[in-house]
Amino acid sequence: MPKGRLARAPESQDIHAPIIPACSRALPPDSTLIYIGCRMSSTGERFERAVAIMERLRAPGGCPWDREQTFDSIKPYTLEETYEVLEAIDNRDWPELAGELGDLLLQVLFYAEMANEQSSFSIDDVLDRLSSKLINRHPHVFGDVKADTSAEVKRNWEALKVEERKKRQADVTEGDAAATKEQKQSILAGVSSAMPSLLEASKLSSRAAQAGFDWPNVEGLFDKLTEETNELREELKEFPAPGPRPQGRGMAGSGRTVVPEDLQARLEDEVGDLFFVLVNIARYLSVDPESALRKSNRKFKRRFQWVEARLHESGRPADQAPMEELESLWQQAKAHERDKSEKPAEEKPA
């Protein structure tokens, strides 16, 4: 393809469309045209093209919106794209997942390009560190370590991560050591407090369990759940009369009882402890708490919308129906879902 000529993308996806020349090397830097629609023969060429496009968007004369973004301004989009990936997986929507994974990859390219601009690191450093980590943490594949089961792999992996943390501690400069000594010596160092709270709780308890700080069996966890529930009930004895009640219909927060600040803080503490125990039960059962709660949220939404649809058929919104009717419709919604899930099995030919 002549240098400087822009290849036109085919206007249709017709398999008989003219073949467009393949990209033979990395795409040009930001000052020249990007070759749009060229047929690429390898994954590497496709990746280089995406990197070059990101570089062009951030370059002088590129996209004003992309050029004004910072590490902090992009963070919310990273979280949003991550959850959209999870939703596509939960929905088993594979075509949508391909697009969402591309959106998530864009976040990586965005951060790497901004870091390259300030000479912190480049996408090459990201890929090199990823490849090195994969090789180092799989000595049973790329080395002589033996691991025939996933349990053995996990034990080796955790041991390797411990060694990596020790090495990072040793690399701390003497000037920084005094301020970070306590944190760096902890097995909990490295668990980010910026991650979702359920995930953070799961990782913290998993790290502590590696040191032997764990319940001997799941029954101990159910005992702990009862203990924490009783502690919450004890705090509720100080709740202003007539005690906790549902908030009034209509505007959120209306009709809420005013609770003394110190009591509110203790209630929050006890509810947090309940969540933490539930996360540990999930860990014990190898259940991802984020995924489990997300599915329950979706299930609640689906059922409540079914209730709303039945009420709309009679010309009423949900906030005008008595609680008894709402509960009756809720039970019908559950039965409706059970019937739908059992129907395919009943209709399956013998």
- pLDDT single digits (tens) 241-292: 888 887 665 544 455 678 899 999 999 999 999 999 999 999 999 999 988 9
Mean pLDDT of 304-310: 95
- The pLDDT score that the predictor gives to residue 17 is 38
Q: Which tokens sit at 31? A: 């000052």
Domain boundary among 248, 271, 287: 287
Query: How many angstroms separate the CA atoms of 325 and 173, rounded?
Result: 67
**pLDDT tens by residue, 221-234:** 999 999 999 999 99
Does residue 113 fall inside a structural domain? no
Does residue 330 fall inside a structural domain? yes
Mean pLDDT of 113-141: 95
Least trusted range by pLDDT, from 90-104, 185-199, 221-235, 311-325: 185-199
- The pLDDT score that the predictor gives to residue 341 is 78
Chain center to CA of 296: 16
Mean pLDDT of 159-180: 66
The number of distinct structural domains making up the chain is 3
Q: Is residue 295 located within the same domain as residue 208?
A: no
**SS3 per-residue string spanning 295-313:** HHHHHHHHHHHHHHHHHHH
Mean pLDDT of 57-69: 95
Q: What is the CATH number of the domain that holds 222?
A: 1.10.287.1080
Question: How many C-beta neighbours within 10 Å does residue 299 have?
Answer: 13
Q: Is residue 302 located within the same domain as residue 331?
A: yes
Which is more confidently placed, 193 or 59? 59
Q: Is residue 340 located within the same domain as residue 272?
A: no
Asked if the model's pLDDT at residue 64 lies above 60, the reply is yes
Asked if the model's pLDDT at residue 183 lies above 80, the reply is no
Q: Is residue 274 located within the same domain as residue 295?
A: no
Asked if the model's pLDDT at residue 176 lies above 60, the reply is no
Q: Is residue 280 located within the same domain as residue 303?
A: no
**pLDDT tens by residue, 310-335:** 999 999 998 899 999 999 999 999 99
Does residue 283 fall inside a structural domain? yes
Label residue 293 exposed, middle or buried (CB < 10 Å: 0-12, 13-18, 19+). Answer: middle
110: confidence class by pLDDT, cuts 50, 70, 90: very high
Does residue 41 fall inside a structural domain? no
Which is more confidently placed, 240 or 254? 240
Amino acid type, 246? P
Cβ atoms of 134 and 117 closer than 8 Å: no
Q: Mean of the per-residue pLDDT values for the chain?
A: 83
Q: Is residue 273 located within the same domain as residue 233?
A: yes
Query: How many angstroms separate the CA atoms of 239 and 264, rounded?
Result: 9
Does residue 46 fall inside a structural domain? no
171: confidence class by pLDDT, cuts 50, 70, 90: low
- The pLDDT score that the predictor gives to residue 248 is 60
pTM: 0.60
Range of the domain at 274: 191-239+260-287
